[in-house]
Structure 1
């Protein structure tokens, strides 16, 4: 089936804006390098302990940094870097509180770490001011998990809870490697007249970052922006968004063919709720989003304790779908800027629009800017008969 070129080009350009927005929400190369050095140093310090039980420990990344889905918190400069300190010498016979204390005591023995150490309910935090903080959660082997899962303390430090950060990371990356099928666009260089030609789908070249990672970042940023004026404690946690997006992405990629990456984004977000389990137990709803890589970890367990959190998820999801539609329909840079700002925050939206203006100014000066009917100003290559060149301008009233 022939794909109308003008809407397709607009979708490509819109997703390109979201791509640049995500780039602005990630740690800088300097921050990433320092975080890497810091967590490696912490691992070496823990393993160098005189306690043989700590000497066998290993430390590794989990969460958004490990998955490549990090977004900068609104109004903050620090990033979360989640780490696991795995202690294979321990078993369930060790109380979670004591396990956490052993790790904390070792960190306190280092004067530098002691000065920046903060105790959290389940982990220890090292605060590197205005850059990032390392959250170190202890874990022990889970003998009951066939997937090499682990056990981590619950927030009360009274029980061990099933988890599997490495298994979850591997499952996410496997899905992220899936490439959606994109319909072949008619070449802009060839002005063909076969509007009814059937076009076979072919695998689209994935972006460097990965489409699934970008979709998760977009959803997480929209969540942060949406709940900024609401109760942030009711916002869906990142692992729920990440899990549902990954399952939805796999389903969409395996069952659909798309015109653009923007269409993939719409489809993945739209189908996320379909993967939430909803059962009636004793007359009340029981929600479940199970961790497929281990037994017994329900990411939606808080929804069953506080049903309002489930309601807030569905309300946020509906608003995000509406905002994506508004973004697709936005006209002009002013309309586009307002839609981006309301959905993803003023600062990144302003930077992206300014970047577009600077780019247009540069290509205008080089006489590369053209006006395409139905699209507007563009630097994309199109048949000459369908575009009108825009004269260079110094913006001082003279060409």
Structure 2
């Protein structure tokens, strides 16, 4: 009975994560938009063309963990990096930022869409119907030997970047450093077995090479768990500025993941173990960037202790909330446990889709009912007859 309940809970959580995900058309539209920007930046008459500009996604869009905003009125963000082949001797942060911004302003459409200059990036606000904005972070390659010296694998270190940040322009910081692609590759490594299996399966369906299937199109239990945890955080903590940031949730979840094959098992293990990777060193909490040991994702906790308190409280509450789901029997009870922590609208959508899948299984003759509990399953049990709506003949 417990196994059946776990299976049902995992299926419903998987369905909810699918509902939380942006749609395939939104993904394709976002990819088309940032590729169009890339084509414009490298145009033959562009002053950036000699520096071979490339643009690529970073953050949750790159990892496949982006989620819809709480309300349909809000936008989701697509974070990208604009990489120019320049050295630190050839340009400065302000010059690099201005080069990218000035060329965007040369195009009438991009000039109209350009938002007020951000701290690190330029932002393009697309039409209301698309409900997303595109952040473009100017960058140049970093000399990465220092990462190799700190035992960061070459496959991650070689993607290191120097980025722009207005808050450092008047300080003694030469160039802030980042490594979004190295982090994304590390993230893939944390789920490489099941990712490889699912990517290969999807590649066969799409008639592509596995390497050509983008990560955001492949959904593993780790990716789905992170989506659910981010939704739980957003719904239960609302607009609280001290709530856990996504990179912390993503990093700790990836460190805790052990290739679990289903969402519930992955969530349970992640929530049970993620706090062990939050270390106390030299009077402060530390969550190291796995591809840059000098970067502490929890550095702001020192000046804002409430951030740490809220994080640990949130993890404890999430453990209780997720554990409560599997204690419920039947779809109605499970949905009732999910609504207060994920939101009624999204849960209703997930339940409706889940019910439709069961209807199809019933019509195919694949649906069974556990005799002792009445729980519906595709495993052993009493076959659930198809509805005819006219009684027995």
Q: TM-score range by the shorter chain?
A: 0.7 to 0.9
2:19 matches 1:24: yes
CA distance 1:236–1:68, shift in 2 (3 Å): same
Structure 2 counterpart SS, 1:209:
coil
1:151 counterpart (147, 162, 179):
162
Equivalence for 2:67: 71
Q: Is the 8 A contact 2:4 2:377 kept in 1?
A: no
CA distance 1:130–1:374, shift in 2 (3 Å): farther
The number of residue pairs the alignment matches comes to 351
TM-score by length of 1: 0.80
Q: How does 1:43-62 map to 2 (within 5 A)?
A: 43-48=38-43, 50-52=46-48, 55-62=51-58
**Deviation for aligned residue 1:232:** 2.9
Equivalence for 1:161: 176
* Stretch of structure 1 that moved more, 79-88 or 156-165: 156-165
Q: Is the 8 A contact 2:8 2:377 kept in 1?
A: no
Q: How does 1:277-296 map to 2 (within 5 A)?
A: 277-280=279-282, 285-296=283-294
1:7 and 1:46 map into 2 onto residues whose CA distance is 56
1:294 and 1:360 map into 2 onto residues whose CA distance is 46
CA distance 1:368–1:95, shift in 2 (3 Å): closer
Equivalence for 2:188: 173
Equivalence for 1:268: 270
CA distance 1:145–1:108, shift in 2 (3 Å): farther
CA distance 1:272–1:92, shift in 2 (3 Å): farther
1:237 counterpart (241, 245, 249):
245
CA distance 1:360–1:166, shift in 2 (3 Å): closer
TM-score by length of 2: 0.81
CA distance 1:217–1:92, shift in 2 (3 Å): farther
Q: Is the 8 A contact 2:119 2:166 kept in 1?
A: yes
**Deviation for aligned residue 1:369:** 4.5
Structure 2 counterpart SS, 1:233:
coil
CA distance 1:38–1:51, shift in 2 (3 Å): same
Q: Is the 8 A contact 1:60 1:83 kept in 2?
A: yes
1:391 and 1:162 map into 2 onto residues whose CA distance is 61
Structure 2 counterpart SS, 1:134:
strand
What are structure 1's unaligned runs of at least 5 residues?
1-5, 181-206
CA distance 1:42–1:267, shift in 2 (3 Å): same
CA distance 1:93–1:339, shift in 2 (3 Å): farther
Larger radius of gyration between Structure 1 and Structure 2:
1
Equivalence for 1:134: 134
Q: How does 1:218-229 map to 2 (within 5 A)?
A: 218-228=228-238
- C-alpha RMSD of the superposition: 2.7
**Deviation for aligned residue 1:157:** 4.3
**Deviation for aligned residue 1:375:** 4.3
2:32 matches 1:37: yes
What are structure 2's unaligned runs of at least 5 residues?
149-156, 196-216
2:277 and 2:314 map into 1 onto residues whose CA distance is 16
2:166 and 2:68 map into 1 onto residues whose CA distance is 25
* Stretch of structure 1 that moved more, 121-130 or 72-81: 72-81
1:99 counterpart (93, 96, 99):
96
**Deviation for aligned residue 1:305:** 2.3
**Deviation for aligned residue 1:61:** 0.9
